[in-house]
Amino acid sequence: MEENKVYTKTGDGGFTSLISGKRVPKHDLRIKTYGTIDELIAWLGLIRDTTKLEEVQTTLLEIQKQLMTVAAQLSIDSDKKIPKNLTPIQPSAVKFLEYEIDSLTTKLEPLRNFVIPGGHVLISYSHLARCVCRRAERYVTELDEEASISSTLIAYMNRLSDYFFTLSRTFAAELNVEEVKWSGN
């Protein structure tokens, strides 16, 4: 009987493989980048499991799927080596986020100040997702200096952090939690 083990022991020396098979150190910028995307996917699972808003759950699941594509795309060290079964993130994914942001924003009061995160776990989780997303975006743009990254992927990450900020405000409104505004004073 053949065993199906989770561990391979191939990373014990501090190296891992990209989709192409190329071995790189586990601290390689590309690994940090898609590892941060993986962290973000996990945060979205937590938010999805915590909210009772079905439309948000549906949107978050779609974003998790899109982020799996982003992570796969980032794990490829060359555009020439994209597997046939992987469709890179498309402009329609950016448009999807813009639609979701606009849809949520229409239900919110205009914001004229910075907001201090907190007030409810869903609000805080959304801000944590926003922060992880911003870190991922910084890694993506840094990686873009070494290896050309799709401008669509970069725009997607930028728009995604805007979505999480808007989601945090949506949760505050839904839960009737007053946002703590910061004006610099």
In a domain, 56, yes or no: yes
Q: Evaluate whether 138 touches 154 at the Cβ level (below 8 Å).
A: no
In a domain, 3, yes or no: no
Q: How far is Cα 169 from Cα 175, in angstroms, rounded to an integer?
A: 10
The tokens for 84 are 């046939």
- 87-97 tens-digit pLDDT: 899 999 999 99
Q: How far is Cα 88 from Cα 71, in angstroms, rounded to an integer?
A: 10
**pTM passes above 0.75:** yes
Q: Supply the range of the domain harboring residue 67.
A: 15-104+113-176
Q: What is the mean pLDDT of residues 99-110?
A: 95
The CATH code of the domain that includes 86 is: 1.20.1200.10
| Highest mean pLDDT: which range of 15-24, 72-81, 115-124 | 115-124
In a domain, 147, yes or no: yes
In a domain, 7, yes or no: no
How many structural domains does the chain have? 1
**What's the gap between Cα 86 and its chain centre?**
18
What is the per-residue pLDDT for 86? 84
In a domain, 6, yes or no: no
Burial class (CB in 10 A: 0-12, 13-18, 19+), 114: exposed
In a domain, 135, yes or no: yes
Rounded to 5°, the CA angle 95-123-133 comes to 45
Q: What is the mean pLDDT of residues 119-145?
A: 97
The answer on pLDDT for 177 being more than 70 is yes
In a domain, 77, yes or no: yes
Q: Is the dihedral of CA 41, 43, 47, 48 positive or negative?
A: positive
